[in-house]
Amino acid sequence: MPIAFWRDEYITGETIIDEQHQYLFSIINKLHDAMIEGKGQQILGEILNKLASYTVEHFETEEQIMKQYEYPDFVCHKEKHDQLKDAVFTLKKQWENKEQFLTVKVSQFMTEWLIHHIKGEDLKVMNYIRDNRHKYQKIN
Ligand SMILES: [Fe+2]
């Protein structure tokens, strides 16, 4: 049973970003399903590895798009990306150190990210791009 449902309000209009965001939803749901079955701990390492590589790839994509469209709040948005990257790195370290109750922490972290970053910051970027797209060449 999934916990994170994709909704129209999350659509940014940039296909690659939407696909990457949906991938984040799938990781959240995978961990949630495993937790319900009492197997959260077992797949936590796999989830954190996926999350770490996703974070790097996804933020690079978003930052490239922001630069291409000269997004005025780029520095602030990139800072938030860097904080999220640090948080994922910290969670990975905690997993390596076998910290307790980490499964719930990772699940909460990803849900927070989804709610605050995607629905807040990313939509601001995409609204800006939508309003200014005509000034710039379309990204391939
Ligand atoms: Fe972002």
For every residue of 46-83, DSSP letters joined together read HHHHHHHHHHHHHHHHHHHHHHHTT-TTHHHHHHHHHH
What pLDDT, on a 0 to 100 scale, did the predictor assign at position 139?
A: 52
In a domain, 7, yes or no: no
CATH number at residue 128: 1.20.120.50
For 104, the token pair is 């719930």
Average pLDDT rounded to a whole number, residues 25-34? 92
Q: Give the DSSP letter of residue 121.
A: I
- What's the 107 CA to ligand 1 centre distance in angstroms? 19
Report how many domains make up the chain: 1
% of the chain exceeding 90 in pLDDT: 65
Alpha-carbon span 61 to 132, nearest angstrom: 19
Judged against a pLDDT cut of 80, whether residue 20 lies above it is answered with yes
In a domain, 90, yes or no: yes
Judged against a pLDDT cut of 60, whether residue 72 lies above it is answered with yes
- What's the 37 CA to ligand 1 centre distance in angstroms? 31
In a domain, 116, yes or no: yes
Q: Which domain range does residue 112 map to?
A: 15-135
In a domain, 131, yes or no: yes
Q: State pTM to two decimals.
A: 0.85
- What's the 102 CA to ligand 1 centre distance in angstroms? 24
